[in-house]
Chains A and B, each alone.
Chain A
Amino acid sequence: MTTDDYTLEELMVVEASRHVSDWDTVMVGTGLPMVASLFALKNHAPNMCYVVETGGIAPQIVGTPSSVTDARVMHRAVRHGSLLDALGGVLQRGLADVAFLGGAQIDRFANVNSTVIGDYDSPKVRFPGSGGANDLASHAKKILIITRHEKRRFPERCDFITSPGYVDGPDGRRKAGLPSAYPEIVVITDLVVMAVDRATGCLRIERLMPGVTVEQVRNSTGFDLPAAAAAGTVEPPTEAEVRLLREEVDPGGEYLKAPE
């Protein structure tokens, strides 16, 4: 039974988790992606293998970790290792089915910027940089991005491409030499679910959040955004899903604010 008692953030998390399947190897950091992955693990993907960039393999995460070095994200792992183990030996090796990332800007080809606003050599704003994000975007078979929907976050072209989407067109990744040449890329925002259309290499509307119109999404996006012919509505969560999220996945409300 679906319910009306949920926040948009909770729906974003539940929707993101729907892109994670049982038995997937999933590379995640902290924040909302972690909440979405833990929700998937507890809801429909009990055999999912969680891999942390710091080298933890299949941890049984407790509480709400604030860092990939937090002991909470390393709890009862089958192995602790190094960055090279996780990002080289699992990810570049081609074993990551799903990876989550975030960023300050996402453009029409789903390229992501987490480095600078303005010119690289004299930036207006400097962000932390790639971290493992470039590696995740380069090598994972499916890339999930959860972000708030604001016009400045969705420019025509990123000021700086930190992590590759489809680069500049449908064959952009293959031409660039990226091993994961045609990955599924899904962007989940508080307004819409977008995915790269493999025919064009560009993002398009797949599903709208309940009550949101195509016009509303386009007004908040800095590039022309087509809609899939069969663009529908994101399915609301069930009562059981909301309960699981609030009571077991993020009971302290560290990442998900309780509804007002």
Chain B
Amino acid sequence: MNRKSSNKVMSAAEAVERFVHDGATVGMGGQSIGRCAMALTHEIVRQGIGDLTLVGCNLSMSMDLLVGAGLARRTECGTGNLERFGTAFRWRRAIEAGTLEVEDYSHLAMASRFLAGALGLPFMPSKSLLGTDILHKQMEGGSDSFRVIDNPWNPDEPVVLLPACRPDVSIVHAQKADELGNVVIEGFTTQEPEMVRASSSVIVSCEELISSEEIRRYPDRTTVPYIFVDAVVVQPWGSYPTSTYGCYEHDAEHLRRYQVCARSGGEAYESYLREMIHERPDFDSHLDGAIGEPRRRELEESMRRLM
């Protein structure tokens, strides 16, 4: 499809079917308990698209779901956790069981890899990772992802080179987009501005579809212009139970419930996947089951008070 075509609005099911394929490297939007692309993640789980390599800086609940559903082969990231809500337990158990390949970076190292991809460069130099096992043990273990060279202008100074990271597809949840795929992310933007520009395909879900006229009136607010975007999915509450800045807070109750299931694994986890995803035709149906109107108003009000 041409990225300059006029209308990219489609359902999550159509977007995921068209742009996420078995074996893909998937750039994961959001961070920790904020703005994870949960609706798009649910759709990948529902369609059972597997053998995925998941990349990002902090990978959180969306990554953990794909690992827990048996759809991930490998992760490349700086962290796997939900901060105060704990580690990403399906990820942790899969690494301990030896069923998931991992490559460790720092957050800046991953952001630098996306920057290289976004600038059309093969690699980015970094002064992080020096003197550590992130560099040395992974190099000794056969990883070809790190090189240390001397600064050409200062021969005694080591510099790390990190290869560009170019996802096949990135999945991102934003506050606003127009039907062309101009995207407005408010608040923190994680690694998404660089990751999206580095990706071959990009799916954006949004809380609100705005007019192209509004985009053109405030062009300095556009985080990602339409030439980088392939599909726009209108999905209010699309990052639930993680937050969307300015719209609603994270749902601590649901996050804790997920973490209990993820920590115990087995039938508890399978039933979470079944009840929340597989038995639901779409994300709206998941939301109807997971969160009632009064709780939605609470989380919106709670965010409003913090603005």
> For the complex, is B96 an interface residue (Cβ under 8 Å from A)?
yes
B11 within 8 A of A: no
* CB-CB under 8 A for A131 and B106, given A162-B133, A177-B158: yes
Residue in chain B with minimal CB distance to A165: B131
**Contacting pair A135 B128 (CB below 8 A):** yes
Cα–Cα, bound, A160→B95 (Å): 15
Segment at the A interface, from B47-55, B76-84, B270-278: B76-84
Check A177–B187 contact: CB distance below 8 A. Answer: no
Size category of the A interface is 35 or more
Q: Does any Cβ of A come within 8 Å of B265's Cβ?
A: no
Chain A hits for B144, CB < 8 A: none
Contact residue among A29, A160, A177 (Cβ-Cβ distance under 8 Å from B130): A177
| Cβ contact within 8 Å between B158 and A176 | yes
- Which chain B residues in 25-39 approach chain A with CB under 8 Å? 30-35
- Residue B107, interface by CB 8 Å: yes
Q: A67 on the interface (CB 8 Å rule)?
A: yes
Which of B104, B134, B191 is the one whose CB lies under 8 Å from A83?
B191
Residues in chain A near residue B191, CB distance under 8 A: 82-84
| 14 cross-chain CB contacts under 8 A | A54-B188, A68-B83, A69-B242, A70-B243, A71-B246, A82-B188, A84-B112, A92-B127, A127-B87, A128-B80, A134-B128, A160-B137, A173-B131, A178-B130
The 10 closest A-B pairs by CB, nearest first: A69-B34, A176-B131, A177-B158, A128-B81, A134-B106, A87-B108, A131-B79, A71-B306, A164-B131, A54-B188
Say if the beta carbon of B69 comes within 8 Å of chain A. Answer: no
* Nearest CB on A from B55, distance (A): 13
For window 78-108 of chain A, which residues contact chain B by CB distance below 8 Å? 80-84, 87-88, 91-92
With both beta carbons as reference points, the residue of chain A lying nearest to B126 in the complex is identified as: A92
In the bound assembly, the distance between CA atoms of A56 and B34 in angstroms comes to 14
Residues on A with C-beta less than 8 A from B78 are: 129-132
Contacts A69-B34, A135-B108 aside, 14 further interface pairs with beta carbons under 8 A come to: A54-B34, A54-B188, A71-B243, A80-B188, A83-B57, A88-B112, A132-B107, A134-B128, A135-B107, A138-B129, A161-B133, A162-B132, A164-B131, A178-B127
| Interface residue? A43 (CB, 8 A) | no
Q: Is the CB of A160 within 8 A of B133?
A: yes
CB distance from A211 to the nearest CB of B (A): 31
- Bound together, the chains give a CA A106 to CA B294 distance in angstroms of 46
In the complex, what's the smallest C-beta–C-beta distance from A246 to chain B, in angstroms? 21
> Nearest CB to that of B107 among chain A residues?
A132
Name the residue of chain B whose CB is nearest to the CB of A54: B188
- B303 touches which one: A71, A88, A163 (CB < 8 A)? A71
Min Cβ gap A168→B in Å is: 8
B188 & A69 in contact (Cβ 8 Å cutoff): yes
Chain B residue numbers with a CB within 8 Å of A70 are: 33-34, 243, 250
Chain B residues within 8 Å of A82, by CB: 111, 188-194
With both chains docked as a complex, state the minimum distance between the C-beta of B130 and any C-beta of chain A, in angstroms: 4
Answer yes or no: A122 CB below 8 A from chain B CBs. yes
B134: contacting residue among A115, A126, A128, A176, CB under 8 A: A115
Place the interface of chain B in its size category.
Answer: 35 or more
Asked whether A14 is an interface residue with its Cβ less than 8 Å from the other chain, the reply is no
The residue in chain A whose Cβ has the minimal distance to the Cβ of B124 is: A88
Residue B105 lies at the interface, judged by CB distance under 8 Å to chain A: yes
Is the CB of A193 closer than 8 A to any CB of chain B?
A: no
In the complex, the answer to whether A161 meets B128 with C-beta atoms within 8 Å is no
Q: How far is the CA of A121 from the CA of B79 in the complex (A)?
A: 17
Please report the C-alpha to C-alpha distance between residue A240 and residue B9 in the assembled complex, in whole angstroms. Answer: 58
- Expressed in whole angstroms, the Cα–Cα distance for A199 and B186 within the complex equals 48
Known: A69-B32, A126-B95, A129-B104. A74 touches B187 (CB 8 A): yes
Asked whether A153 is an interface residue with its Cβ less than 8 Å from the other chain, the reply is no
A59 to chain B, nearest CB (A): 11
Q: Which of A29, A69, A92, A126 contacts B108 (CB 8 A)?
A: A92
Interface residues of A in 123-151 (CB under 8 A from B): 123-135, 138-139
Residues of A48-75 at the interface with B, using a CB-CB cut-off of 8 Å, are: 53-56, 62-63, 66-72, 74-75
**Quick one: given A56-B188, A84-B191, are A129 and B130 in contact (CB under 8 Å)?**
no
| Chain B residues with CB below 8 A from A83, complex form | 31, 57, 107-108, 111, 190-191
Residues of B within 8 A of A167 (CB): 131
Partner of A128, one of B33, B88, B109: B88
B187 pairs with A80, CB closer than 8 A: yes
Q: Which residue of A lies closest to B188 (CB)?
A: A54
B152 / chain A contacts, CB cutoff of 8 Å: none
